[in-house]
Structure 1
């Protein structure tokens, strides 16, 4: 076990894990269910409250983590046989596949989990619970309608001129600090003929790689950045509902679709409670709660939504599947090469 921990830390040289937020729901004396997740607490709160309305004798301890820190902590717990979280939910599904592959997950099967398509379940140990597009966002007051990029090709055209007003005003996730950012960028590299051109254009135009969803969206609304690329649509939609200055586009060339991965750790203390909550998330009531929380986004049903759907966006969806193919993204040599290419494009990351 000590050897496994050593290998993990050699591959993932992160600083000490740091929790972002935490909150306890339900009576203090009730049986606890510990959930560690990358999902913003504000987005998950109504989902948790809906579940607890039918389970008044349960206490949920919800911890919000960054994806890299959550991976590090979960891997450390696994290596030490520690009963940490009862359920782990992460948007960095490549890291979740790695944890399952390393024997860190418990097996569970129910009618609800069995009803998931094969792309959203693996080994009866990892399940996709959400449906969130990766989008482009822009400042609707400062970006003229004729400049709004409907595809990656449009974005390239926008950044190409030496005199482009978007030089230094485009942002995306920093793959060094964001596991989600790395996953989306790597998925782009496999899907897009435009990826090389985007990297070159980002570097030439002084694009900014930074953290995190809320900060990037705030900066676009405030006008520090005019456009942001590969932002998780659930967070963008929640903000756009409150602030019309934020415009959102599902790229028409293809739109990546992420499903957050849920895993019951092998050494969890409350596996039965975790399994019940997982079944709730996959039930009709849970799906409705997730949809209201904008964690289930349907590109074929955008009535009243601020999400703009250019022609062909729906038909060009690209689901990121929960499968061993994601382990390619975590191969040490491939990750090194990919990061070096990224650093060349973003030499002055924020």
Structure 2
């Protein structure tokens, strides 16, 4: 789930399976649909049998995707060729815009958690006009902008090294991290990583915190002088693992939590006790999708109860009410742990260039 720059020249794809679609798969029955699905939905299912594949331009890792792909293919055995890139946030859109402008793109869906980039995308009239039958079972913001469907709500967390910090220094948010750094300023200067707000995801997390958390800018004023900015989740995690950073903040829980849980006890993580921002991850079918029916099935699966369980199995945060799973905190779990007034959903919006520039200038003044 790296959000930094990625090579755009060659398409780096991952696939749900190495095998092709057999004639047996093509004739296999799909699993029955819930009663609230329209009868005409079978037309979409039948049309997808001729399409056989889905290509996603994404900034989400194969680790996150694989349980989703596996469960989706169990439902639709003829759709075995499900592929996703692992591009940087901007590259997801730039690749599609460039291809669409020069004769067409092979992409069916775009997937990202880069808030301002979705805002720009929404102005371009690119999203396919499709209303999921799961819509009525989801909160009002599930379709956050026309044709842009939220499928995970990943909290922004702090990741820290449990070996370089004393147990008394384990942070439980940005306020506590600032207090820890201020207690030993020479020790912690330059030892804390933060997502750069010039990056779309970094802007979402930084602005989400200062715009939603009481005293957010004051906390940044205390903490940022100790921090160094990076453009990639992968880099921020790696530097905590190596001990170059004692902690990194404004990381997606979809990256940081699996990294911590797979670290053999080296890494710890925490929500922000004073208030945790949740940045949605969304999918949108593009109007030019060559496999539009398969793409519709995929979006509907992501939003379904079963699909939300697979989202959790991949390390992302489901938000649909009533989903039974033990793999990951759901949005409701986060709200119960922190209190609903301390969980703040970031909403996609178009961010004018001058607005982001003014924010970055204030942020850079604080970081020094």
Question: 1:1-350 counterparts in 2 under 5 A?
Answer: 17=8, 21-26=12-17, 27-28=19-20, 31-58=52-79, 59-79=81-101, 82-122=104-144, 124-161=146-183, 163-176=185-198, 178-205=199-226, 207-243=227-263, 244-296=265-317, 313-315=338-340, 316-322=342-348, 326-327=349-350, 330-346=351-367
Q: Is the 8 A contact 1:19 1:64 kept in 2?
A: no
Ranges in structure 2 where 5+ consecutive residues have no aligned partner = 22-50
Q: Is the 8 A contact 2:177 2:223 kept in 1?
A: no
Q: Is the 8 A contact 2:6 2:87 kept in 1?
A: no
Cα deviation, 1:98-145, whole Å, max 9, x if unaligned, reads 212321111111321332211221455111101211001111122222
- Distance in 2 separating the partners of 1:247 and 1:51: 32
The 10-residue stretch of structure 1 (113-122 or 193-202) with the greater mean CA deviation from structure 2: 193-202
* 1:20–1:313 Cα change, 3 Å: farther
What's the counterpart of residue 11 of structure 1? none
**How many angstroms does 1:311 deviate by?**
9.7
Give 3-state SS (helix, strand or coil) of 2:283's partner.
strand
Count of paired positions: 326
Give 3-state SS (helix, strand or coil) of 2:121's partner.
helix
* 1:36–1:240 Cα change, 3 Å: same
* 1:122–1:250 Cα change, 3 Å: closer
Ranges in structure 1 where 5+ consecutive residues have no aligned partner = 1-13
- Distance in 1 separating the partners of 2:270 and 2:11: 29
* 1:309–1:272 Cα change, 3 Å: closer
- Distance in 2 separating the partners of 1:159 and 1:217: 19
Q: Is the 8 A contact 1:19 1:65 kept in 2?
A: no
- Distance in 2 separating the partners of 1:165 and 1:28: 56
Give 3-state SS (helix, strand or coil) of 1:165's partner.
helix
Give 3-state SS (helix, strand or coil) of 1:231's partner.
strand
- Distance in 1 separating the partners of 2:250 and 2:273: 13
- Distance in 2 separating the partners of 1:39 and 1:15: 12
Q: Is the 8 A contact 1:35 1:85 kept in 2?
A: yes
**How many angstroms does 1:94 deviate by?**
2.8
Cα deviation, 1:192-220, whole Å, max 9, x if unaligned, reads 34333344334432x11113222222221
Q: Is the 8 A contact 1:19 1:66 kept in 2?
A: no
Q: Is the 8 A contact 2:162 2:267 kept in 1?
A: yes
**How many angstroms does 1:234 deviate by?**
1.7
